């Protein structure tokens, strides 16, 4: 009887091993996605990034969204922004929009962050973290000083510059005429 139990346990392990191998061969993206998620949870962001980049080349949806999260955690905000946008194009979920809002917030682009948080709230109005980030961004935007007014160039200074340039043109023209008279009416070979 003990011998049968060992054989049965060994057979079960062998079947599980074969199923795992079949999973790896038939659905490698699923396996690498799961592995990258585990690496992300263990805060091994560079390793997770490598796996996710491989998946993101083939699938623009969830893999790009997860790649954006990994890049965000590493502080690679421009790359995270690009990956996030690609992920949103394929899968505009509230989580993807929330993450995109976080990236924009970290880049201090509060208008864009607010826009993404708003879109995410429309998809998931009960998310308390999302509401808190939206309100925080709104406060940041209100406290942000307005952009400096565009300074119009000083009109008097512009007029002075035009007068100087006009005077130089007139002087050049009169010098050219004097040279032509000195050369018996033949234009000088060097016109400048």
Give the pair of three-digit tokens for residue 96. Answer: 């993807």
Confidence of residue 60 (pLDDT cuts 50, 70, 90): low
pLDDT digits (tens, 9 = 90+) for 5-16: 888 888 898 898
Give the pair of three-digit tokens for residue 25. Answer: 């061969």
Domains along the chain with CATH numbers:
32-91 (1.25.40), 93-143 (1.25.40.10)
DSSP designation for 127: -
| Mean pLDDT (whole number) for 125-153 | 82
pLDDT digits (tens, 9 = 90+) for 99-135: 899 999 999 899 999 999 999 999 988 989 989 999 9
Cβ-based burial of 65 (10 A; exposed 0-12, middle 13-18, buried ≥19): buried
Q: Determine the Cα–Cα distance for residues 156 and 172; give it in Å rounded to an integer.
A: 24
Q: How many whole angstroms from its chain centre is CA 52?
A: 16
Residue 130 makes CB contacts below 8 A (sequence gap 6+) with 94, 98, 117, 120, 121, 124
Between residues 68 and 2, the one the model is more confident about: 68
Give the pair of three-digit tokens for residue 27. Answer: 């659905």
3-state secondary structure of 160: helix
């Amino acid at each position: 009887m003990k011998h049968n139990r060992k054989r049965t346990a060994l057979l079960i392990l062998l079947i599980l091993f074969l199923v795992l191998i079949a999973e790896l061969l038939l659905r490698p993206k699923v396996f690498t996605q799961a592995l990258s998620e585990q690496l992300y949870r263990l805060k091994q962001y560079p390793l997770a990034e490598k796996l996710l980049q491989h998946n993101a080349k083939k699938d623009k949806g969830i893999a790009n969204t997860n790649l954006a999260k990994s890049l965000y955690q590493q502080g690679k905000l421009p790359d995270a922004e690009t990956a996030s946008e690609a992920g949103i194009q394929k899968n505009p979920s509230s989580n993807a929009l929330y993450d995109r809002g976080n990236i924009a917030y970290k880049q201090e682009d509060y208008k864009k962050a607010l826009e993404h948080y708003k879109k995410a709230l429309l998809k998931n109005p009960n998310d308390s973290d999302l509401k808190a980030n939206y309100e925080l961004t709104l406060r940041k935007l209100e406290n942000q000083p307005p952009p400096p007014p565009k300074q119009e160039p000083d009109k008097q200074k512009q007029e002075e510059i035009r007068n100087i340039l006009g005077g130089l043109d007139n002087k050049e023209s009169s010098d050219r005429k004097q040279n032509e008279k000195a050369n018996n009416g033949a234009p000088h070979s060097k016109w400048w």
